[in-house]
């Protein structure tokens, strides 16, 4: 499917006739007052209407069309928050007109952003939270672009003599990285060096990553945790492998941790896991405030260990109370409501609250994984004991149906459970993945198991997998 474009041109048809074909239909009962006189015109779909539509009618038209979107709470494909408290919604409504870039006009919103960065610096064990630098973004993708840019600029600074000549920078990562890293490498002209999957290893291997590094490597990305199966990548082992590399070769390669999900799970549930700024080689970390940060989309965060990690020339300055406020962002205008909601959620939950919420999600993931395993038709790849996320495939003897059939049949019952094929070298493996988020309760998990049980007898009766168009059966799994 191409990128959004204009309306289809029906060949040879005059424009007025084409427009007649593509109009929103109006129910006379949707009119403001008198059903027989109000609704005389149906607005076109792909052209700005000539005149206005009454607000109630316009609302109803848009509302009705959106009924066909899936129910976000039943969307087990997404990592993104689909439930918040009414108080958070109220705050977001109060702030929906505030532009995050207007630091001078909205100094308190700017202050709340600063407090959030300080809290994250503390949470991620920055050696000196007072000098840790960071910013909010629209999500982890923007945060990763910023972190990648900082890595590239630092490398370019160190290689000022070689870079303009022939040296081409590269970034090392596992093949399981989220698509934002492919985007970063494409947009910023960096070679992407990816460690493939191997056997039952579905994420980065520290040794293999170190072997891909050379004098043009701007950094290594470690993912906490992988969107493919919810597993944490071994950040400490990666740093150790890069320490050994430095001893052997002198190459000093920084690590960026893409903690889109895990940076808001591990600090509460895996306190002994050392993955963050406690590791001197970890130079920057990002997270999605709108994933396990528990805020509606879109907010993300990027933090650097110290100002030395973020080249000064990348930082711009905006007016703030008559002075200078540094900003680092791809966007200019951006909603302030999500940042306010993040601060609310930090205040509301505190460490113990986050721990309780994330532990509940992980308990539900573990139990659900176990119950799916007990059905006998499936084999678990992960059990939801790192991110509250697990992946499973059909058991070895199952030949009547495949994961795409399961995904399609669950969709009939309202559940969105994506099925997808793994990347190099495990393209032979297709899985289903379940993301357990706050709001996906133990009761809903029980209903999911009941629905899965309900579709299995028919699936087992199939002569073979239906082999439907796999791209159609598959929800976007990142």
Ligand X SMILES: *Cc1c(COP(=O)(O)O)cnc(C)c1O
Q: Which residues within the stretch 144-183 sit at the binding site for ligand X (CB under 6 A)?
A: 144, 178, 180
Q: Which residues contact 244 (CB under 8 A, 6 or more apart)?
A: 210
Return the range that interacts with ligand X (CB under 6 A); candidates 9-17, 67-75, 83-91, 134-142. Answer: 134-142
Shortest distance, position 140 Cβ to ligand X, whole Å: 3
Cβ proximity of 256 and 148 under 8 Å: yes
Report the residue number, 30 or 440, with the smaller CB distance to ligand X.
Answer: 440
For ligand X, which residue of 57, 78, 136, 261 counts as binding (CB under 6 A)? 261
Report the residue number, 178 or 231, with the smaller CB distance to ligand X.
Answer: 178
Contacts with ligand X by CB under 6 A: the residue count is 14
Cβ proximity of 195 and 206 under 8 Å: no
Report the residue number, 180 or 238, with the smaller CB distance to ligand X.
Answer: 180
For ligand X, which residue of 57, 81, 141, 231 counts as binding (CB under 6 A)? 141
Question: Pairing relation of β-strands 191-195 and 170-174?
Answer: parallel
Return the range that interacts with ligand X (CB under 6 A); candidates 139-147, 189-197, 212-220, 421-429. Answer: 139-147
Q: Which residues within the stretch 64-123 sit at the binding site for ligand X (CB under 6 A)?
A: 79
* Residue 300 interacting with ligand X (CB under 6 A): yes
Q: Which residues contact 294 (CB under 8 A, 6 or more apart)?
A: 81, 84, 264, 345, 349, 354, 357, 438
For ligand X, which residue of 140, 170, 327, 394 counts as binding (CB under 6 A)? 140
Return the range that interacts with ligand X (CB under 6 A); candidates 133-141, 277-285, 314-322, 444-452. Answer: 133-141
Within a 13 Å sphere around the CA of 424, how many CA atoms are in the beta-carbon half?
Answer: 6
* Residue 266 interacting with ligand X (CB under 6 A): no
Report the residue number, 136 or 288, with the smaller CB distance to ligand X.
Answer: 288
HEC secondary structure over 325-358: EEECCCCCCCECHHHHHHHHHHHHHHHHHHHHHH
Shortest distance, position 136 Cβ to ligand X, whole Å: 12
> What is the largest distance, in Å, between two alpha-carbon atoms of the chain?
84
Secondary structure class of 431 (helix, strand, coil): strand
Shortest distance, position 449 Cβ to ligand X, whole Å: 25
x/- mask, ligand X, residues 19-58, rule CB under 6 A, reads ----------------------------------------
Return the range that interacts with ligand X (CB under 6 A); candidates 145-153, 244-252, 254-262, 356-364. Answer: 254-262
Report the residue number, 223 or 452, with the smaller CB distance to ligand X.
Answer: 223
Say which DSSP state 202 is in.
-
Cβ proximity of 317 and 327 under 8 Å: yes
Sign of CA dihedral 401, 403, 405, 410: positive
Q: How far apart are CA 376 and CA 207, in angstroms?
A: 36
Report the residue number, 129 or 439, with the smaller CB distance to ligand X.
Answer: 439
User: 10 Å Cβ neighbour count for 310?
Assistant: 26
Of residues 29, 81, 443, the one with CA closest to residue 295:
81
Which tokens hold the place of 147? 């972190």
Report the residue number, 140 or 407, with the smaller CB distance to ligand X.
Answer: 140
For ligand X, which residue of 113, 205, 233, 258 counts as binding (CB under 6 A)? 258
Q: Which residues within the stretch 279-298 sit at the binding site for ligand X (CB under 6 A)?
A: 288
Q: How far apart are CA 428 and CA 309, in angstroms?
A: 40
Report the residue number, 144 or 253, with the smaller CB distance to ligand X.
Answer: 144
Shortest distance, position 116 Cβ to ligand X, whole Å: 15
Strand partners, 192: 171
Sign of CA dihedral 241, 243, 244, 248: positive
* Residue 223 interacting with ligand X (CB under 6 A): yes
End-to-end CA distance of the chain: 18
Report the residue number, 36 or 333, with the smaller CB distance to ligand X.
Answer: 333
Return the range that interacts with ligand X (CB under 6 A); candidates 32-40, 136-144, 273-281, 333-341. Answer: 136-144
Report the residue number, 201 or 413, with the smaller CB distance to ligand X.
Answer: 201
Shortest distance, position 288 Cβ to ligand X, whole Å: 4
* Residue pointed to by tokens 């795409």: 404
Q: How far apart are CA 436 and CA 419, in angstroms?
A: 16
Of all helices (H) and strands (E), which one includes residue 458? Answer: helix 442-461
Shortest distance, position 178 Cβ to ligand X, whole Å: 3
Shortest distance, position 46 Cβ to ligand X, whole Å: 29
Q: How far apart are CA 360 and CA 1, in angstroms?
A: 39
Please list the alpha-helical segments (H only) found in 22-128: 55-66, 86-94, 107-123
* Site of interaction with ligand X (CB under 6 A): 79, 139-141, 144, 178, 180, 223, 227, 258, 260-261, 288, 300
């Amino acid at each position: 499917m191409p990128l959004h474009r204009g309306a289809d041109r029906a060949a040879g048809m005059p424009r007025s006739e084409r427009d007649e074909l593509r109009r929103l239909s109006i129910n006379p009962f949707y009119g403001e007052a008198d059903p027989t006189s109000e609704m005389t015109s149906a607005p076109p779909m792909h052209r700005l209407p000539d005149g206005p539509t009454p607000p109630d009618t316009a609302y109803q038209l848009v509302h009705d069309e959106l009924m066909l979107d899936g129910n976000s709470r039943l969307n087990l494909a997404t990592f993104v928050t689909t439930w918040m408290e009414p108080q958070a919604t109220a705050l977001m409504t109060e702030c929906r007109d505030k532009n995050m870039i207007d630091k001078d006009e909205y100094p308190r919103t700017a202050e709340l952003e600063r407090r959030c960065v300080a809290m994250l610096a503390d949470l991620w064990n920055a050696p000196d939270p007072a000098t840790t630098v960071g910013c909010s973004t629209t999500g982890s993708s923007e945060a990763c672009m910023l972190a990648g840019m900082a890595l590239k600029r630092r490398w370019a600074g160190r290689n000022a003599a070689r870079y303009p000549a022939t040296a081409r920078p590269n970034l090392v990562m596992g093949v399981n990285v989220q698509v934002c890293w492919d985007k970063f490498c494409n947009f910023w002209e960096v070679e992407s060096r990816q460690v493939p999957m191997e056997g039952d290893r579905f994420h980065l291997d520290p040794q293999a990553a170190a072997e891909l590094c050379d004098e043009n490597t701007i950094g290594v990305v470690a993912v906490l945790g992988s969107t493919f199966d919810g597993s944490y990548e071994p950040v400490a082992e990666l740093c150790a492998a890069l320490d050994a590399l430095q001893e052997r070769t002198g190459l000093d390669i920084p690590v960026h941790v893409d903690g889109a999900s895990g940076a808001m799970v591990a600090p509460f549930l895996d306190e002994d896991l050392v993955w963050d700024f406690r590791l001197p080689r970890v130079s920057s970390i990002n997270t999605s405030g709108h994933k396990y940060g528990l805020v509606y989309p879109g907010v993300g965060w990027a933090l650097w260990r110290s100002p030395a990690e973020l080249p000064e020339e990348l930082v711009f300055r905006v007016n703030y109370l008559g002075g200078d406020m540094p900003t680092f962002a791809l966007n200019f205008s951006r909603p302030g409501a999500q940042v306010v909601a993040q601060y609310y959620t930090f205040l509301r939950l505190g460490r113990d609250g986050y721990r309780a919420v994330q532990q509940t999600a992980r308990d539900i993931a573990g139990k659900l994984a176990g119950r799916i395993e007990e059905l006998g038709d499936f084999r678990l790849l992960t059990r939801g004991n790192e991110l509250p996320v697990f992946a499973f495939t059909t058991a070895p003897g199952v030949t009547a149906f495949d994961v795409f059939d399961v995904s399609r049949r669950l969709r009939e019952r309202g559940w969105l459970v994506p099925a997808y094929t793994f990347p190099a070298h495990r393209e032979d493996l297709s899985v289903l993945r379940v993301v357990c988020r706050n709001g996906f309760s133990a009761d809903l998990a029980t209903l999911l198991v009941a629905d899965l049980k309900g579709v299995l007898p028919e699936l087992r009766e199939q002569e073979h997998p239906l082999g439907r168009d796999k791209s159609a059966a598959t929800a976007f799994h990142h």
